[in-house]
Amino acid sequence: MTGEEFKNTLSDATPPADLSPLLQALWHQAKGNWEMAHQIAQNQKSPDGDWTHAFLHRDEGDLGNAAYWYRRADKPVPSGPIKDEWEQLLVAFL
């Protein structure tokens, strides 16, 4: 799946069945379902799961919690727009 194909699924009511959990989290976040995205991300016990978890807390404005998860993911806290980090996560997980 390409990034463009992924973005085209955002008009669907449900995510594609074959998405990895982290792509599912990005899908739900993009659709405005932060709680579902967060639930998925926090269940992923990996550096990429921690990165997604950090991104979601940054998105909600909980920067202290986000900083903790960025440290766990061994990633710097980004200062750019949240949409840029979403794109970075998408590329990394496709």
pLDDT, tens digit (0-9, with 9 covering 90-100), for 22-60: 999 999 999 999 999 999 999 999 999 999 999 999 999
The whole-angstrom separation of Cα 14 and Cα 17 is: 8
The mean pLDDT of 66-84, rounded to a whole number, is 97
pLDDT tier at 6, thresholds 50, 70, 90: very high
CA 42 to each of CA 23, 46, 93: distance values in angstroms, whole numbers, following the listed order = 13, 10, 16
**Distance between CA atoms of residues 26 and 7, nearest Å:** 10
pTM of the model: 0.95
